[in-house]
Each structure stands twice: as C-alpha cells, then as structure tokens.
C-alpha cells in the first residue's frame, strides 16, 4: 500500500498522497500553536464518483484518523467549507465560512498549501481586496513532478490575471465541471463588494 491509496486522485496527481497529508498536518500543528487560531478545511464535492464526502470533510477525516497529531484541541476550532471548486473559492468561501461561524472577519489569514502556488493565492487575496499585510502563505512542499505542476500553474496564473474572479471562459468552465451535483453556496458568499463590511476578529 502506498500513500496514494488513501486518496481519490486524478491521474496527474499520482504520487501526491503523502504531500496532502503534510498539508493537513501543517495546518493542524500551526493552529495548535495559538488558542485564538482557527483552522478551515476548504473543498467541495468535486467528483461525481465520490458523492458522500466533500474534499473538506475528507481532510477533516484524515486529521481524525491521525489523532490530530496529538493536538486534539484543534478539532473544536476546525471548520469545514464544502462548496469551493478552485483556489480562488478556497480563499473566498473559507473567509465566509469563518465569518458566518464566528461573526467577524479574521484578523489575519494564513493559507497552507503547495509552495509553487504562493503567487496565485497572493493574487486571489488582492482580487478580493484583502489587505496584503494580513495575508500570509505557508508553502509546505511541492508535488513530485514539479515541472508539470509549474507548467499548469503558468496557465492558471494567466487565466486569473485576465479574469481575477474566475467568472468567464476556462475558469468558469472548470468550476462547472467540478460541481457535478449543482451545489451552491449561500448567496451572500458570492456577492462582490463584500469586504466593505470588514470587521477584524480572530485569526485562523
């Protein structure tokens, strides 16, 4: 059995199972360092062949199976956001999930993920109007085939540069394909101009 066997991976993701485990562990351990931090697992029901559990819920299940890496107190400060279909929505909907649960925007945002995606998430934060000084990226690792990942990332960056909110063309088509069950987040999560109501709150 390999680290991939526990994951529902696409062909291009082979060899990445252990890397995802490290992302989850890094998020849990970082959250455990401060009692005011909250962890948000983000990811929707993106594949028709797996209808019973979202990506976010799968990440939480992994943390549970690992005993939260001896940081069980983090479980009570962990939220799941189950609508996101891409990285932009991971950030946007993650923020809304936090806000709806706690009644305030976070004081700071730390995103844990692939090291090679740092620029993309910085662009997402800027597109949302999130203050740069309150956004931080923790690049944990890179996939085994980094060259292929970077080639795909170059195209994604071009797409988001042309369409920062991903509402047209290739980005919109990808979101549609990654929503086989037609799930929709609350309407207020999708409205632009939402940062006019920024209220600093707890950090996650």
3-state secondary structure the chain: CCHHHHCCCCHHHCCCHHHHHHHHHHHHHHHHCCCCCCEEEECCCCCCCCCCCCHHHHHHHHHHHCHHHHCHHHHHHEEEECCCCCHHHHHHHHHHHHHHHHCCECCCEEEEEEHHHHHHHHHHHHHHCCCHHHEEEEEEECCCCHHHHHHHHHHHHHHHHHCCCCCCHHHHHHHHHCCCCCCCCCHHHHCCCHHHHCCECCCC
In a domain, 132, yes or no: yes
In a domain, 118, yes or no: yes
Task: Output the pLDDT for position 195.
Answer: 58
In a domain, 204, yes or no: no
Task: Output the pLDDT for position 15.
Answer: 55
CATH number at residue 138: 3.40.50
In a domain, 109, yes or no: yes
Domain that holds residue 163: 3-197
Mean pLDDT (whole number) for 125-144: 94
In a domain, 80, yes or no: yes
Q: What is the pTM of this model?
A: 0.89
In a domain, 124, yes or no: yes
In a domain, 15, yes or no: yes
- Count of domains forming the chain: 1
Task: Pick the more confident residue, 46 or 7.
Answer: 46
In a domain, 203, yes or no: no
- Please say if the pLDDT value at position 4 is more than 50: no
pLDDT tier for residue 116 given thresholds of 50, 70 and 90: very high
User: pLDDT, tens digit, for every residue of 148-201?
Assistant: 999 999 999 999 999 999 999 999 999 999 999 999 999 999 887 665 555 454
């Amino acid at each position: 059995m390999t680290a991939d066997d526990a994951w529902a991976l696409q062909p291009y993701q082979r060899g990445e199972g252990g890397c995802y485990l490290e992302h989850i562990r890094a998020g849990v351990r970082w959250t455990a360092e401060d009692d005011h931090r909250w962890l948000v697992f983000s990811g929707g029901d993106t594949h028709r062949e797996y209808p019973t559990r979202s990506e976010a819920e799968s990440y939480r299940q992994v943390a549970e199976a690992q005993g939260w890496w001896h940081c069980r107190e983090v479980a009570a400060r962990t939220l799941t956001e189950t609508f996101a279909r891409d990285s932009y929505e991971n950030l946007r909907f993650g923020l809304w999930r936090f806000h709806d649960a706690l009644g305030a925007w976070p004081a700071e945002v730390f995103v844990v993920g692939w090291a090679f995606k740092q620029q993309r998430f910085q662009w997402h934060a800027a597109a949302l109007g999130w203050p740069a000084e309150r956004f931080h990226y923790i690049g944990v690792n890179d996939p085994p085939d980094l060259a292929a990942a970077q080639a795909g990332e170059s195209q994604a960056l071009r797409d988001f540069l042309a369409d920062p909110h991903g509402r047209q063309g290739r980005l919109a088509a990808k979101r549609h394909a990654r929503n086989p069950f037609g799930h929709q987040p609350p309407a207020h999560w999708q409205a632009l101009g939402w940062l006019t109501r920024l209220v600093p709150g707890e950090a996650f």
